[in-house]
């Protein structure tokens, strides 16, 4: 059985892959220049693809930001006549214009092929039954995985988000083997299995999970795998880069291969915007090199990660991105300290006494900002003795303080007390007075 | 051995009421209870029920962190110094009481003390030595 969906591309030697990227980048720039936005930028900055001599020269190109995409809403990045567009997706756009991405036939073909490649890499095959538990519609995770799984040849169940009882019914009736969803939903789903007196290890045929769209820690992944007896693979995608299928773990479960025949990934120092060496953390910057309707060059993702140095035992030559450490824009500042929610999550996962759900509430109490961490108590650890809870309280408080240098107000809450998200879990609520005025 | 039901509760309006609602629906009677809060926004509720197994099951099914804990219930003379006499024996035996609560049983003209301690068997012996009586499970659940 082949290990690869497209062996030639996935295992192409680095030098060859970089030459391939350079060729595709130049072609993408020619295509991009047809859009109003890049046409103007390239003219003004006198940018010519012929001046690129190696893939490293990409650093001479200007960066594109979320503000650029919003400011040129909706068609400023379009390079083809509107009648060539066959699909659009967009981001939720909670602040200002949403970001709309347009696809022509080639783009959809290219995208679904990448998603199929990801699913193949984790071991999914055409005889699998694939249940896609995520929002369909404007969100790319629904149709993106649908198309990719169909291309793979799996039986694809578009079960969408919500209604856990029906999800379980579908899974048991149709013998689902592979699920794509967000990690926080799997812990919710497990609770429903238990409520129904079912054990997913015994009562389902599940064998693979693809999880993504939501930052999570290695510890959380291990817990999910333990609960279900299923291997869970990390998935990375973003609407601006088509959607899912940008980078994915292989069977080694160590870092996500970013498909470098379709994207150029760079890691930059977010302050100097210079590339950092492999292995160092920085901001991920992405360029599409296989998209026609709406190429995007050097897009600042605001995601913090690093390239994992070294080669992957799976034989793929495409570099691996580490688990995301957070986003440059989801960091919050409290009492002068920079805190990433992922730092807090990592600490909480060290304590089996608390469940995987948590919430960080930032509030101003009598003029002083405080960080409140709400965690659900895992009932298996309840003995009826207050000492146990008090000790847990103190341990959680000092573990967080030691890591982020702010003493939190820890609140241990009843199991099930935190809101269950059907979409992305809301981990941070900022109610501070300074924010209210802003 | 007699048992009480201990429940983890957030210290918030309405949370205790939800517990009593669950018990009421199952027609479970509360014989005695204590609720102790902490400085951290939660507390522990201890319940002496006429049917601890059913009560525990109902609360767990309703999603609560609830456990059954062994206890001993001692009958004390309802007069000044009644509790003191009992405690004098317990402290001689170096018994550390984790939690205790008392209630009057008017029909018997006596008071009872519910004790949650680490070494229940030793407590039972000391109670005997003190010349006091321990309530049987049957007596406790049908107070």
Question: What are A273-313's pLDDT values in tens digits?
Answer: 999 999 999 999 999 999 999 999 999 998 889 999 999 99
For domain B2-69, give the CATH number. 3.30.2130.10
State the pLDDT at residue A1: 57
Q: What's the CA gap between A61 and A63, in Å, rounded?
A: 7
Hey, is B116 helix, strand or coil? Answer: strand
- Residue linked to tokens 């197994």: B53
Q: In angstroms, what separates the C-alpha of B59 from chain A's closest C-alpha?
A: 12
Would you say residue B50 has pLDDT above 90?
A: yes
**Residue extents of the structural domains in chain B:** 2-69, 71-141
* Most confident stretch, A98-102, A256-260, A267-271, B126-130: A256-260
**Residue B15 gets which letter from DSSP?**
H
Hey, is B86 helix, strand or coil? Answer: helix
**Minimal Cα distance from B41: which residue of A?**
A411
Beta carbons of A377 and B6 less than 8 Å apart: no
Burial of A172 (0-12, 13-18, 19+ CB in 10 A): middle
Residue percentage of chain A with pLDDT more than 90: 72
Beta carbons of A385 and B98 less than 8 Å apart: yes
Domain A1-327 fold is Rossmann fold (3.40.50)
Helical packing angle, A36-44 and A14-32, nearest 10°: 100
Q: In angstroms, what separates the C-alpha of A419 from chain B's closest C-alpha?
A: 14
**Which of B13, B34, B41 best tests the A interface by mutation, with the highest count of A CBs <10 A?**
B41
The predicted-structure confidence for A122-175, as pLDDT tens digits, reads as follows: 999 999 999 999 989 898 999 999 999 999 999 999 999 889 999 999 999 999
Q: What's the CA gap between A172 and A205, in Å, rounded?
A: 8
State the pLDDT at residue A424: 61
Q: What's the CA gap between A317 and A18, in Å, rounded?
A: 11
**Residue extents of the structural domains in chain A:** 1-327, 332-437
Instruction: Select from A169, A181, A189, A188 the least CA-distant residue to A139.
Output: A181
Residue percentage of chain B with pLDDT more than 70: 100
**Which of A357, A384, A385, A407 best tests the B interface by mutation, with the highest count of B CBs <10 A?**
A384
State the pLDDT at residue A423: 57
Would you say residue B35 has pLDDT above 90?
A: yes
Q: Per the CATH hierarchy, to which homologous superfamily does domain A332-437 belong?
A: ANL, C-terminal domain (3.30.300.30)
Beta carbons of A379 and B65 less than 8 Å apart: yes
CB A332 within 8 A of CB A362: yes
Q: In angstroms, what separates the C-alpha of B112 from chain A's closest C-alpha?
A: 21
In this prediction the pTM is 0.71
**Which of A372, A374, A381, A386 best tests the B interface by mutation, with the highest count of B CBs <10 A?**
A386
Instruction: Select from A239, A7, A258 the least CA-distant residue to A141.
Output: A239
What class is the B71-141 domain?
Answer: alpha beta
Chain B residues touching chain A at CB-CB below 8 Å: 6, 8-10, 15, 36, 38, 40-42, 44, 46, 60, 63-67, 69, 98, 116
């Amino acid at each position: 059985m082949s290990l690869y969906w497209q062996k030639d591309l996935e295992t192409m030697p680095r030098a060859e892959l970089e030459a391939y990227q350079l060729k595709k980048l130049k072609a993408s720039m020619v295509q991009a220049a047809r859009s109003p936005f890049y046409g103007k930028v390239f003219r003004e900055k006198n940018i010519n693809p012929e001046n690129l001599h190696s893939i490293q020269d990409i650093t001479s190109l200007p960066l594109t930001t979320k503000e650029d995409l919003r400011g040129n809403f909706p068609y400023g990045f379009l390079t083809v006549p509107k009648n060539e567009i066959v699909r659009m997706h967009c981001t939720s756009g909670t602040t200002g214009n949403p970001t709309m991405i347009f696809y022509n036939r080639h783009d959809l073909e290219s995208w679904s092929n990448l998603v199929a490649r990801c699913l193949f890499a984790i071991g999914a095959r055409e005889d699998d039954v694939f249940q896609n538990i995520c929002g369909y519609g404007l969100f790319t995770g629904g149709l993106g995985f649908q198309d990719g799984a169909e291309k793979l040849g799996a039986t694809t169940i578009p079960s969408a988000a919500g209604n856990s009882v029906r999800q379980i019914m579908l899974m048991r009736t149709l013998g689902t083997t592979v699920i794509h969803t967000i990690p926080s939903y799997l812990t919710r789903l497990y609770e429903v299995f238990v409520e129904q007196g079912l054990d997913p290890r015994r009562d389902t045929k599940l064998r693979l999970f693809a999880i993504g769209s939501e930052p999570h820690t290695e510890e959380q992944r291990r817990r999910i795998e333990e609960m279900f007896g299923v291997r869970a693979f990390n998935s990375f995608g973003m609407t601006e880069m088509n959607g899912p299928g940008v980078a994915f773990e292989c069977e080694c479960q160590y870092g996500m291969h970013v498909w470098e025949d379709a994207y150029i990934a760079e890691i930059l120092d977010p302050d100097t915007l210079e590339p950092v060496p492999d292995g160092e953390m920085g901001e991920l910057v992405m360029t599409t090199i296989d998209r026609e309707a709406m190429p995007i060059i050097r897009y600042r993702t605001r995601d913090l990660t690093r390239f994992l140095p070294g080669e992957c035992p799976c034989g793929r030559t495409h570099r691996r991105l580490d688990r995301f450490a957070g986003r440059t824009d989801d960091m919050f500042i409290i009492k002068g300290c920079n805190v990433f929610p992922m730092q807090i999550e990592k600490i909480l996962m060290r304590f089996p006494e608390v469940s995987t759900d948590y919430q960080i509430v930032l509030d101003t109490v009598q003029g002083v900002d405080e960080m409140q961490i709400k965690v659900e108590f895992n009932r298996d650890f309840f003995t009826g003795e207050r000492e146990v809870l008090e000790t847990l309280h103190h341990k959680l408080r000092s573990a967080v303080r030691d890591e982020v240098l702010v003493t939190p107000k820890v609140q241990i809450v009843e199991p099930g007390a935190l809101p269950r998200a059907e979409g992305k879990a809301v981990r941070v609520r900022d109610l501070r007075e300074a924010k209210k005025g802003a | 051995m007699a048992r009480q039901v201990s429940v983890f509760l957030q210290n918030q309006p309405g949370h205790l009421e939800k517990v009593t609602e669950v018990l009421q629906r199952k027609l479970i009677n509360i014989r005695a209870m204590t609720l102790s809060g902490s400085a951290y926004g939660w507390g522990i509720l201890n319940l002496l029920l006429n049917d601890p197994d059913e009560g525990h099951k109902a609360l767990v099914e309703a999603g609560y962190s609830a456990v059954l804990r062994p206890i001993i219930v001692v009958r004390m003379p309802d007069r000044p110094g009644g509790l003191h006499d009992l405690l004098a024996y317990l402290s001689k035996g170096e018994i550390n009481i984790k939690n205790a609560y008392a209630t009057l049983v008017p029909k018997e003209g006596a008071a009872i003390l519910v004790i949650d301690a680490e070494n229940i068997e030793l407590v039972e012996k000391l109670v005997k030595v003190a010349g006091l009586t321990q309530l049987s499970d049957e007596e406790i659940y049908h107070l």
